[in-house]
Structure 1
Amino acid sequence: MRRIIAEDPDWTLAIVPCLSNLCLQSIIKNFKENPIFKELTPIQRDFVQKGLSTALPLELTANLISDGVYWKRCCEERWNLCDISRYDHSWKRMFFERHLENIIELFIPGMTEQNTVLQVVPLCKNYIKRLDISQLLPPIREPKTEEEELVLDPPGKSEDDGLSVDHFDFNILLNKLTNLEELHLVYRVKQCGMNFEWQMFEMTDRDCESLAKALASCKNLKLLRLHKSHIDDKKCRLLVKHLLNHPSLRELDFSYNQIGDRGARALAKLLNQSELETLNMRVNNIRDHGAKAIAHALSKNSTLLSLNLRLNRVGDEGGQAIGKALLINNTLRHLHLGGNVLEGPTATALAKVIAQNNTLTCINLSCNNLGQDAGKALQEAMSLNTSITECDVRLTEMDEQSISFINQVAWTNKSSEKKLCGNSSKSM
């Protein structure tokens, strides 16, 4: 008896592949030398995408292979967490956005060639809608020799004089990303360990100048989030200068920075010369003068829907100015003044707003020393209100009875709103 042992132990006459599959397998094997894809039928393309190597050069696959199984495999092999819902359920968009983010986050000025970034742009620019940059590396400093350590610096000379700590220059990139709608930036270094320096966690003047010019050229940008980067008044004013009259910017987030009254006045000017809908300035150093400038802009503004001044230094002068502005403004829906230094006069001014304004739906006054008299004023105002569905007055020195009544009215308004929405959807 002769016994034949096949190279493929699973091979039998019953499962001999058809000729078309053999051809497709040949295409997969020789794809780098002879890329055939557009000529195939949809079913054949799916077969090829399942078998192609994810190590193929992007220059070959970027503009040839459509969104589908191939890009899903590329994402899942590279990253553990892949939430496709954040990318409009597009695997290809996820891959190219995260790929470009990784290149920028690992870019070392003075060492990494700019062409490393620029050569990717033609391949990915059609798929980039959002960039979320979680770190920006500074240049690498050469360690000092023992002799240099022993030499005393001359008087008046700083240790960092002559050393540039500028980060990646966005001016070379953003004007090329014509579909970019969201930009999230933070100037910091993750996992710096024992090499920690404060300069790793702030943008320089040249960083700010180049970014400001880049933002002006990014015409389709809708959301800009620049937080935890030690932005002061000077940098804020420069950024705002280039954002004035921006055609598409709708949301601006400068939270967790060091912006004070001068920066707030610049932002007030931006409110008057843009169509901004959301302004988030939580955890900054804005005081009464800055809040009054923003309030003056609110009295004329007709686009802003949400204003967040949580954890600043706003006092009663600024708080009362915002209250007076909201008697005129009929657009703002969300107002957050929690964690400031507001007292009774501001609560009284806002009580008038609550009694008259039917646009405001959410107001937060938590962690302010408002007092019991303010609680009674707010309670009386809420009894006349039908639009506010959330009114946070925790830790405000108000009596429990007033707080309970305010919460009950807000809950009733929210329930009525849900019923109204449900009835309108049924009628449709």
Structure 2
Amino acid sequence: MPPTLDNSSDPQPTFSVGSTTSEPSLTDQVKRFKPRKFKEKRETLLSKDPSQNNPSHEKLSLKCIKVIVSNFDKNPSHSGIPASHVREITSRLPINLDPKKSAVYVHDESYWKRACLQSLSPSECQIVEHGLTWKQLFFENHLQKRLEGFKDGDDIEVLLEEIEKFQDYIFCLRFRQMPGHIDLDRLTASLPNLTKIDLQYNINKIGMDFDRRLFGMKISDASCLAKSVKDSENLTSIVLSGNLMDDDLLRMLMTGLYKSSTITHLDVSHNKITNHGVRLLAKLLGTKSVLTSLNVADNQIHAEGGRYLGRALRSNDSLSDLNMRLNRLTDEGGRMLLEGLRDNQSVTRLNVSGNSLGSESTSALSVVLREQDSELMILDLSSNRLSDADVQVLSATMERNDRLISMDMRMNSTTDGNEDLEKIQEKLHYNELNLRS
């Protein structure tokens, strides 16, 4: 006889089926049992990775990925790995890998972006200045730090061996200090894709150990750089701002610049170049010149230097940007420089601010602006000695000019609320709208 349920202590249950017998149905028996309560919620159990509790639940592909990542520094390789798993491997790699290995075996841009954002400052992560690739940004900054930490006595062969692994990603050679004056000729020879050089021979954070001899370019540096420029086939831009460069150092550098047919941008601003140095630079602006931008701002160029440049501009058809800011041209030098623009049809940007220009320069400029063939579009005349009469001459000239769209005339000897200045600004705005339409 089947067992019966003891319901003496419970109220008499109401059964839907089998209520006429002493034995409840199976459905009624199930309803009488309460569900068992688990200690952990179901959501918590589902959120946990089963592989963490039991390695046997881990996929074989994930096991292989972990092994490859843990041994990547010793045995870097991607051969035979499906492309779908390569990204997972690079996402797990640490950013402190040996650059000589990571340069060869890691190509995922997401890895190099992570490495740059974690190891560089926000000001250094300007990808637009490094070919819009994170890998190029990383290695150009890496090389810069290696050069800035290079000291006299360090083995250059070790550095060149390291550079050989990532030389394809170096397009710009830059440093802001150089404790040990490295042989630039050998360095640039190992960089086949080098297109820009931006160098400053200084010492940062020197403190009480200041020594004048540690600052500025040396004769040996200028000699090595000249040879590098002469031998390079891809170099297009040279920036040597703030290197205490004088005429002698420039003369040595020019031995390489004369023989180069690729340099289009030259910046020697904030140095000690005088009229003799400008005479050398003027030779770069001959009929065979390819130079499009020349920056000689903040040097020691006087009126004679303006004459040299003005004479060179008459036959030049390549230069489009000339910066003569913060020199000592005076009114006479400004006049001779601007007279050279009468027959020039290439210069579109001219900066002659801070040169003590006056009425003679204004007269020469008015002739240039009346020329139909003049291509001058942006002009900076700020911080000079232009008077209200000079502004009136320029205002009358601008009525016939349709090319100029910007003229900076701040910090001159003019009165506030000058009507001629307002007319000039209206004409500049009108020219700009016409060029855009």
Q: Does 1:374 align with 2:415?
A: no
Contact 2:87 2:108 in 1 (8 A): no
Q: Counterpart amino acid of 1:175? A: A
Aligned position for 1:78: 119
Q: Give me the whole-angstrom Cα distance separating, in 2, the residues matched to 1:220 and 1:226.
A: 18
Distance, in Å, in 2 between the alignment partners of 1:297 and 1:101 is 37
Matches within 5 A, 1:29-108: 29-81=70-122, 82-108=125-151
RMSD, aligned α-carbons: 2.2
Residue matched to 1:336: 351
Q: Does 1:11 align with 2:52?
A: yes
Specify the alignment match of 2:65 in structure 1: 24
1:132–1:185 Cα contact (<8 Å) kept: yes
State the shift of 1:36 in Å: 2.8
Q: Which residue of 2 aligns with 1:224?
A: 238
Gap runs ≥5 in structure 1 = 1-7, 139-166, 421-428
The runs of at least 4 aligned residues of structure 1 exceeding 6 Å deviation read: none
Q: Deviations over 1:225-265 (max 9, x none)?
A: 00111101111121122111412211100000010101101
Match of residue 281 from structure 2? 267
TM (norm. structure 2) is: 0.83
Report whether the alignment pairs 1:321 with 2:319: no
Count of residues in correspondence between the two structures = 385
Report the secondary structure of 1:119's partner residue: helix
**Partner amino acid for 1:128?**
I
Mapped contact 2:344–2:374 kept (Cα < 8 A) = no
What does residue range 16-415 of structure 1 map to in structure 2 within 5 Å?
A: 16-81=57-122, 82-109=125-152, 111-138=153-180, 167-272=181-286, 273-356=288-371, 357-399=373-415, 400-415=418-433
Secondary structure at the aligned position of 1:391 is classed as strand
TM-score by length of 1: 0.85
**1:38-77 Cα deviation digits (max 9, x unpaired):** 4323321101101123333233222222142332333233
Q: 5+ residue gaps in structure 2?
A: 1-48
One-letter amino acid of the structure 2 residue matched with residue 340 of structure 1: N
Query: Which amino acid letter does the alignment assign opposite residue 155 of structure 2?
Result: E
CA distance 1:413–1:79, shift in 2 (3 Å): same
> How far apart in 2 are the matches of 1:274 and 1:27?
55
Larger deviation, residues 258-267 vs 167-176: 167-176
Cα shift readout 1:12-43 (whole Å, capped 9, x = no counterpart): 57993322222222222222343331432332
Q: SS at the partner of 1:259? A: coil
Distance 1:59 1:205 in 2: 33
Structure-2 separation of matches of 1:288 and 1:117: 46
Equivalent AA in structure 1 for residue 184 of structure 2: F
Contact kept, 8 Å, 2:170 with 2:194, in 1: the verdict is yes
Q: Find the aligned partners of 1:206 and 1:13 in 2 and give their Cα distance.
A: 66
Give, in angstroms, the shift of residue 396 of structure 1. Answer: 2.2
Deviates more, 1:198-207 or 1:180-189: 198-207
- Give the distance between the partners of 1:9 and 1:19, measured in 2 at CA: 14
Contact 1:220 1:247 in 2 (8 A): no
- Code of the residue aligned with 2:77 in structure 1: it is I
Distance 1:11 1:124 in 2: 38
> Which string of whole-angstrom CA distances, capped at 9 and with x for unpartnered residues, describes residues 195-236 of structure 1?
122222211222221222122222211111001111011111
Q: Is 1:246–1:274's contact at 8 Å kept on the other side of the alignment?
A: no
- Which amino acid letter does the alignment assign opposite residue 390 of structure 1? S
SS in 1 for 2:85: helix
Larger Rg computed on CA atoms: 2
- Relative to structure 1, the CA distance from residue 215 to residue 392 in structure 2 (aligned partners, 3 Å threshold; closer, same or farther) is same
Secondary structure at the residue paired with 2:132?
coil
Q: After superposing the two structures, state which structure 1 stretch, 49-58 or 293-302, moved more.
A: 49-58
Cα pair 1:374 1:398 within 8 Å, conserved: no
| 1: CA distance, partners of 2:395 / 2:132 | 46
8 Å Cα contact 2:302/2:330 also seen in 1: yes
Contact 1:319 1:346 in 2 (8 A): yes
Note if contact 2:245-2:272 (Cα within 8 Å) is conserved in structure 1: yes
Q: Which SS does the other structure have where 1:61 is aligned? A: helix
Question: In the alignment, what sits opposite 1:144?
Answer: none
* Per-residue CA distance 1:135-192 (angstroms, 9 max, x = gap): 1115xxxxxxxxxxxxxxxxxxxxxxxxxxxx22212201221111111111111111
Residue 62 of structure 1 contacts residue 123 of structure 1 at CA under 8 Å; is this kept in 2? yes
